[in-house]
Amino acid sequence: MQNLKSSSTKSKGALLLIGAAAFLILSAVLNICLGASGVSLGALWHALLEGPGTSKAARILWYVRLPRTAASLLAGAGLAVSGAVIQKVLANNLASPGIIGINAGAGLAVAACCAFGTYAVWAVAGASFLGAMTATFLVVIVARKSNASRTTVVLGGVAVTACLNAVTETIVTMVPDAALASVDFRVGGFSSVNQTRLLPAAILILAGIAVVCMLTNELDVLSLGDDTAHALGLRVARMRNTMLTLAALLAGASVSFAGVLGFVGLIVPHMARRIIGNDSGRLIPFCALLGGGFVTICDLASRLIFAPYELPAGILMSFLGGPFFIWLLLKRKDKQP
Amino acid sequence: MISIQDLHVSYDEAEILHGVSAAFPEGKISVLMGPNGCGKSTTLRSLVRMVPEMSGVLTLDGQDLGTLTPQELACRIAYLPQSRNVPDITVERLVLHGRFPYLSYPRRYRKEDRDKVAQALEWVGLSDLHARKMENLSGGQRQKAYLAMALAQDTEVILMDEPTTFLDIKNQFEMLDRARSLANDGKTVIMILHDFESILHYADHVILMAQGRVLTTGDAETVLRSEEIKEAFDVQPCFYRTDDGLHCYVRP
């Protein structure tokens, strides 16, 4: 019996993945080469070959543009994969990391951190990660208590988010300094990223994406529906909670150094599905590549549009994400009664 | 032979099945029938341990099903639920997931799996549509795709919860004919059906249920002619014979 999988389908998928990888590399190269400082490409190349040094080009390359580019690549990849996983697990194309409490949890932790006068970069990053994970943990507990159905995960997420946001607003009302100090986190961006802050999150994001890539068949079987997935031998509730935890890990680690980057976890999985289809084996790596490239291009645009001033990347993404979301809603209205 | 002894199942502390016992012979079509809410689907779901609380002994060829892991169970019993998603994937990809219980490290499908898929698609007559998206198939074709997935699962037992629901008459007969072929190939087919005429034609063995209990079992004609049928449905089956055999219709 001949294998039905056509080689043209396989090669098309491979070509698209190569194209996405090329986009990622191009965005990274542009983000490293272009900026408002006026440093020439030759000087940057020289600084790259010589390693970290004290020249202007070396300082800009090694301490600003490389960490910043790495951060935007990692945050984009982490948030996009997180969004794709959440949308698959909840069978809801309008779901994103925010739906399982990531942003609310991280926002509360950062506001609390600032309210206690702890402004150190590492402390804010750690707090936002722990806040994101704690919020997701609460959502997963609520879901588990009610058999982890898709609906209860979403409703649990809405309830937990509402509670956490209420506490955050109370904190920033009582301690106005906390509101000011957490502005950078709330709008999202990469201007304060450095290697120390990035390294632990980078390890978590890369490991998280690798694990998700190994579980793409589980992710697809889960999306067939609880009964069918169970009949195929999958421990449905356990796998759903595992996937949500992985998604939280990816988004939480991204938020810890990039702040709240609105809509990345929503836009990129949609773009990726339209281009490469819904098969997780291709979708997840494609999302990682496309997400990394997309956020890096947004970061580049945010630095160049009003140069020498910088628009936080999170604001630019919301400018793009808002209209996209409206388009998505209108498109759904066309299709559904 | 798959058998159930003294099965009790509860949902939210309310007992749904009250000591159900039944045996489903190998290589035959067994049909569970009974009024809505009598526990047919729950009985079927119990066999694949999809119920929250249950007690009783369920065995397959003498082996206690409770000792199998979900993966081992899925290698022995396939289950086609009544309501199914229409996933945004191709027919071939859906059927390939029938091989999910056999996945081992590195969690990727092998050539052997893809060969099984090709066989299953050919058997249900969907080879030409293997690259088509599930959402672009008709109801009958989707049913066939899910049947192909169950076939790719390569199990001894196939459970079907109302496999003819939502199908037109032609597709209903086609689905039941395929179930007959599977039984002829030695598989144990257990399904839930409502239509008396279809039961009379296709069932080798019938289990009549009502209010969480088994009322009677036997061959289709015996069960359909029994007093218990009137007790369960409050209807009067009528029989007539033509050149191609016995037929049945129902009078209120």
Q: What does the pLDDT read at residue A1?
A: 45
**Number of domains making up chain A:** 1
In a domain, A17, yes or no: no
Q: What is the pLDDT of residues A41-81, one digit of tens each?
A: 777 777 777 777 777 777 877 878 888 899 999 999 999 99
Average pLDDT score over chain B = 90
* Mean pLDDT, range A253-270, rounded to an integer: 83
In a domain, A6, yes or no: no
Residues of B in contact with A221 (CB under 8 A): 97, 100
Shortest CA distance to A66 belongs to which of A192, A188, A195, A184?
A: A195
**Cα(B100)–Cα(B117) distance, rounded to whole angstroms?**
12
**Cα(A114)–Cα(A177) distance, rounded to whole angstroms?**
8
CB–CB contact B100 A221 (8 Å): yes
What is chain B's percent helix, strand, coil content, to nearest 5? 40, 30, 30
- The C-alpha of B82 sits at a distance from chain A's nearest C-alpha, in angstroms, of 9
- The C-alpha of A218 sits at a distance from chain B's nearest C-alpha, in angstroms, of 8
In a domain, A168, yes or no: yes
Residues of A in contact with B128 (CB under 8 A): none
B227 reaches A (C-beta below 8 A): no
- A34: number of CA atoms within 13 Å, CB side? 17
**Cα(B198)–Cα(B172) distance, rounded to whole angstroms?**
9
A214-244: buried (b, 16+ CB within 10 Å) or exposed (e) per residue?
Answer: ebbbbbbbbbbbbbbbbbbbbebeebbbbbb
Of A4, A217, A223, the CB nearest to B92: A4
Strand order of the sheet with strand B77-80?
A: B77-80, B157-160, B188-192, B29-33, B205-210, B213-218
Residues of A in contact with B76 (CB under 8 A): none
* Mean pLDDT, range B23-43, rounded to an integer: 93
* A58, two tokens: 């070396």
CB–CB contact A3 B131 (8 Å): no
What residue in A sits closest to B153 (Cα-Cα)?
A232
**Cα(A315)–Cα(A184) distance, rounded to whole angstroms?**
11
In a domain, A283, yes or no: yes
For residue A203, the one-letter residue type is I
Average pLDDT score over chain A = 82
Residues of A in contact with B85 (CB under 8 A): 91, 223-225, 228
Q: Which residue has the higher pLDDT, A10 or A2?
A: A10
- The C-alpha of B213 sits at a distance from chain A's nearest C-alpha, in angstroms, of 24
Give me the CATH number covering residue A305.
Answer: 1.10.3470.10
Of B81, B118, B131, the CB nearest to A231: B81
Q: Is the pLDDT of residue B25 over 90?
A: yes
Q: What is the pLDDT of residues A301-334, one digit of tens each?
A: 888 887 777 788 878 887 877 787 677 667 655 5
For an interface test with B, the pick among A2, A4, A12, A90 (most B C-beta atoms closer than 10 Å) comes out as A4
**Cα(A209)–Cα(A219) distance, rounded to whole angstroms?**
13
Q: Give the A-side interface with B, CB within 8 Å.
A: 1-6, 9, 91, 214-218, 220-221, 223-225, 227-228, 230-235, 273, 277-279
**3-class DSSP assignment, residue B204:** coil
**Cα(A299)–Cα(A297) distance, rounded to whole angstroms?**
5
Q: What does the pLDDT read at residue A336?
A: 45
Q: What angle do CA A327, A328, A333 make, to 5 degrees?
A: 95
For an interface test with A, the pick among B47, B93, B126, B149 (most A C-beta atoms closer than 10 Å) comes out as B93
Residues of A in contact with B122 (CB under 8 A): 1
B86 reaches A (C-beta below 8 A): no
> pLDDT grade, residue B8 (50/70/90)?
very high
**Cα(A71)–Cα(A31) distance, rounded to whole angstroms?**
11
Q: What does the pLDDT read at residue B24?
A: 94
Q: Do you find a cis peptide bond into B101, omega within 30 degrees of 0?
A: no
Contact between A288 and A205 under an 8 Å Cβ cutoff? The reply is no
Of A3, A225, A227, the CB nearest to B114: A3
> pLDDT grade, residue A181 (50/70/90)?
low
Of A217, A273, A279, the CB nearest to B100: A217
Shortest CA distance to B91 belongs to which of B59, B130, B64?
A: B130
In a domain, A145, yes or no: yes
Rg (CA), chain B: 19
Torsion B76-B82-B88-B89 (CA) sign: positive
B23 reaches A (C-beta below 8 A): no
CB–CB contact A224 B94 (8 Å): yes
- The C-alpha of A190 sits at a distance from chain B's nearest C-alpha, in angstroms, of 36
* A274, two tokens: 């339209």
CB–CB contact A232 B117 (8 Å): no
Burial class of residue B94 (count of CB atoms within 10 Å of its CB; 0-12, 13-18, 19+): buried
DSSP string of A26-83, one letter each residue: HHHHHHHH--TT---HHHHHHHHHH-S-SSHHHHHIIIIIHHHHHHHHHHHHHHHHHH
Which range of residues forms the domain containing residue A194? 75-329
Q: What is the pLDDT of residues B228-237, one digit of tens each?
A: 998 888 888 8
Q: What angle do CA A211, A213, A215 make, to 5 degrees?
A: 75
CB–CB contact B118 A2 (8 Å): yes
Residues of B in contact with A332 (CB under 8 A): none
Residues of B in contact with A215 (CB under 8 A): 107
Cα–Cα distance list, A99 to A132, A208, A224, A236 (Å): 11, 19, 21, 20
- The C-alpha of A84 sits at a distance from chain B's nearest C-alpha, in angstroms, of 14
Q: Do you find a cis peptide bond into B106, omega within 30 degrees of 0?
A: yes
* Mean pLDDT, range A102-130, rounded to an integer: 78
Q: What is the pLDDT of residues A11-52, one digit of tens each?
A: 788 899 999 999 999 999 998 888 777 677 777 777 777 777
Contact between B174 and B140 under an 8 Å Cβ cutoff? The reply is yes
Highest mean pLDDT out of A30-39, A90-99, A228-237, B85-94: A228-237
DSSP annotation of B203 reads -
Q: What angle do CA B65, B162, B151 make, to 5 degrees?
A: 60
Helix (H) or strand (E) holding B216: strand B213-218
Q: Is the pLDDT of residue B121 over 70?
A: yes
> pLDDT grade, residue B158 (50/70/90)?
very high
Q: What is the pLDDT of residues A156-179, one digit of tens each?
A: 888 888 888 898 888 888 887 777
CB–CB contact B93 A91 (8 Å): no
